[in-house]
Structure 1
Amino acid sequence: MDSIVNLIGNLGFPIAISLYLLIRIEGKLENLTQSINTLSNVINKKPIN
């Protein structure tokens, strides 16, 4: 039983930090994707001289 508690204690913090970072990065990636799509649309609409 002590080994299970020790395992959760050792792995819980890295897992929590990893989940926190993944959630933060996901939002930033969505914003970046939207910006790239907007930029692509603007470039495609620009007339070629």
Structure 2
Amino acid sequence: MTDISEVFGFIKDFGFPVVLSWFLLVRMENKLAGLTEVIGELSCNIAAMRGEIPKR
């Protein structure tokens, strides 16, 4: 059986980095979704400028 202080040591050592990584990934996911939308709009605008599709 592991000592309780050893368990708390694992939480202290690995818990904070895991929580911080999760928080940053959640924030980055929203930014990536917005970036994907903007890139799609940009590609439509470029295609419209080339005359490949009608402008919106």
Shorter chain as normaliser: what TM range? 0.7 to 0.9
* Stretches of structure 2 lacking an aligned partner (at least 5 in a row): none
The equivalent of 1:25 in structure 2 is 28
TM-score with structure 1 length normalisation? 0.84
Aligned-residue CA RMSD (Å): 1.4
Aligned length in residues? 48
The amino acid of 2:45's aligned partner reads: V
Q: Distance in 1 between matches of 2:22 and 2:40?
A: 27
Higher helix share: 1
Does residue 9 in structure 1 map to residue 12 in structure 2?
Answer: yes
Q: Distance in 1 between matches of 2:10 and 2:29?
A: 28
Q: Distance in 1 between matches of 2:25 and 2:14?
A: 17
* Stretches of structure 1 lacking an aligned partner (at least 5 in a row): none
Larger Rg: 2
Identity %: 35
